[in-house]
Structure 1
Amino acid sequence: MQLYNTLSAEERAELIDQAGKQRLTLSFYAYAKIEDPKQFRDNLFIEWNRLDALGRIYVAKEGINAQMSVPAENFEAFRATLEAYDFMKDIRLNVAVEHDDHSFLKLTVKVRDKIVADGLNDETFDVTNIGIHLKAKEFNQILDDPNTIVVDFRNHYESEIGHFKGAITPDVETFRESLPIIHDQLKGHEEDKNLVMYCTGGIRCEKASAYFKHQGFKNVYQLEGGIINYAKQIQEEGLESKFIGKNFVFDHRLGERITDDIVSQCHQCGKPCDNHTNCENEGCHLLFIQCDECKAAMENCCSDECRQIIHMPLVEQVKLRRGVKNGNMIFRKGKSEKLLFKHSGVLSDLPLGVVEKKDIRQKIKIKKILIGKAEHYYVKAGVGLFIIENQEIVVGDKILISGPTTGNEEITIEKMFVNGSENRVAKAGDKVTMALPFRIRLSDKLFKILE
Structure 2
Amino acid sequence: MQLYNTLSAEERALLIEQAGQNRLTLSFYAYAKIENPQQFRDELFLAWSHLNALGRIYVAQEGINAQMSVPAEGFEALRATLEAYDFMKGIRLNVAVEQDDMSFLKLTVKVRSKIVADGLKDSSFDATDIGIHLKAKEFNEMLSDPNTVVIDMRNHYESEIGHFEGAITPDVDTFRESLPIIEAQLAEHKEDKNLLMYCTGGIRCEKASAFFKHKGFQNVYQLEGGIIEYTRQIKEEGLQSKFIGKNFVFDHRLGERITDDIIANCHQCGQPCDTHVNCANEACHLLFIQCDDCAEKMHHCCSDECVAVIQLPEDEQRAMRRGVQKGNLIFKKGKSDALKFKNERNVFDEIVPVKVSAVTKIRKKRIEKKKLIGRVEHYFTKASVGQFSIENEAITLGDILVVVGPTTGEQRLDLQQMMVNGVVVQQAQVGDKMTLSLDFRVRKSDLLYKIQA
How far apart are the structure 2 equivalents of 1:31 and 1:344? 34
Q: Which residue of 1 aligns with 2:372?
A: 369
Matched, 1:339 2:342: no
Matched, 1:139 2:145: no
Q: CA deviation at 1:400?
A: 8.5
Q: Which residue of 2 aligns with 1:351?
A: 356
Q: Which residue of 1 aligns with 2:201?
A: 201
Deviation per CA, 1:399-427: give whole Å up to 9, x if none: 989999xxx9x9955239xxxxxxx8556
1:256 and 1:360 in contact (8 A); partners too: no
Structure 1 unpaired stretches of 5+: 375-385, 417-423, 436-442
Structure 2 unpaired stretches of 5+: 348-352, 378-387, 423-427, 436-442
How far apart are the structure 1 equivalents of 2:208 and 2:55? 25
How far apart are the structure 2 equivalents of 1:46 and 1:200? 28
How far apart are the structure 1 equivalents of 2:239 and 2:402? 50
Q: Which residue of 1 aligns with 2:113?
A: 113
Q: How does 1:232-311 map to 2 (within 5 A)?
A: 232-311=232-311
* TM-score (normalised: structure 2): 0.83
Q: Which residue of 2 aligns with 1:39?
A: 39
1:32 and 1:87 in contact (8 A); partners too: yes
How far apart are the structure 2 equivalents of 1:301 and 1:198? 32
AA aligned to 1:391 is N
2:284 and 2:329 in contact (8 A); partners too: no
Specify whether residues 207 and 402 from structure 1 end up closer, same or farther in structure 2 by C-alpha distance, changes over 3 A only. closer
Secondary structure at the aligned position of 2:52 is classed as coil
Q: Which residue of 1 aligns with 2:148?
A: 148
2:55 and 2:68 in contact (8 A); partners too: yes
How far apart are the structure 2 equivalents of 1:133 and 1:399? 45
Q: Which residue of 2 aligns with 1:76?
A: 76
Deviation per CA, 1:182-215: give whole Å up to 9, x if none: 1111011110110111111110111111111111
TM-align CA RMSD:
3.3
Q: Which residue of 2 aligns with 1:159?
A: 159
AA aligned to 1:217 is F
Matched, 1:97 2:97: yes
Specify whether residues 152 and 414 from structure 1 end up closer, same or farther in structure 2 by C-alpha distance, changes over 3 A only. same
Q: Which residue of 2 aligns with 1:382?
A: none
Q: CA deviation at 1:325?
A: 1.3
Specify whether residues 370 and 36 from structure 1 end up closer, same or farther in structure 2 by C-alpha distance, changes over 3 A only. farther
AA aligned to 2:355 is L
How far apart are the structure 2 equivalents of 1:446 and 1:248? 27
Specify whether residues 135 and 446 from structure 1 end up closer, same or farther in structure 2 by C-alpha distance, changes over 3 A only. closer
* TM-score (normalised: structure 1): 0.84
Q: Which portions of structure 1, spanning 4 or more consecutive aligned residues, are displaced by more than 6 angstroms?
A: 393-404, 432-435
Specify whether residues 370 and 83 from structure 1 end up closer, same or farther in structure 2 by C-alpha distance, changes over 3 A only. farther
Specify whether residues 185 and 387 from structure 1 end up closer, same or farther in structure 2 by C-alpha distance, changes over 3 A only. closer
1:272 and 1:353 in contact (8 A); partners too: no
2:231 and 2:258 in contact (8 A); partners too: yes
AA aligned to 1:415 is N
Specify whether residues 328 and 164 from structure 1 end up closer, same or farther in structure 2 by C-alpha distance, changes over 3 A only. same
Q: Which moved more, 1:13-22 or 1:204-213?
A: 13-22
Q: CA deviation at 1:339?
A: 1.3
How far apart are the structure 1 equivalents of 2:287 and 2:14? 26
Specify whether residues 361 and 330 from structure 1 end up closer, same or farther in structure 2 by C-alpha distance, changes over 3 A only. same
Q: Which residue of 2 aligns with 1:221?
A: 221
How far apart are the structure 1 equivalents of 2:360 and 2:374? 37
AA aligned to 2:38 is K
Q: Which residue of 2 aligns with 1:2?
A: 2
Q: Which residue of 1 aligns with 2:392?
A: 391
1:160 and 1:344 in contact (8 A); partners too: no
Q: CA deviation at 1:87?
A: 0.6
Percent identical among aligned pairs is 66
2:285 and 2:329 in contact (8 A); partners too: no
Matched, 1:231 2:234: no
AA aligned to 2:216 is G
How far apart are the structure 2 equivalents of 1:361 and 1:34? 43
Specify whether residues 355 and 106 from structure 1 end up closer, same or farther in structure 2 by C-alpha distance, changes over 3 A only. farther
AA aligned to 1:282 is E
Secondary structure at the aligned position of 1:369 is classed as strand
Q: Which moved more, 1:296-305 or 1:168-177?
A: 296-305
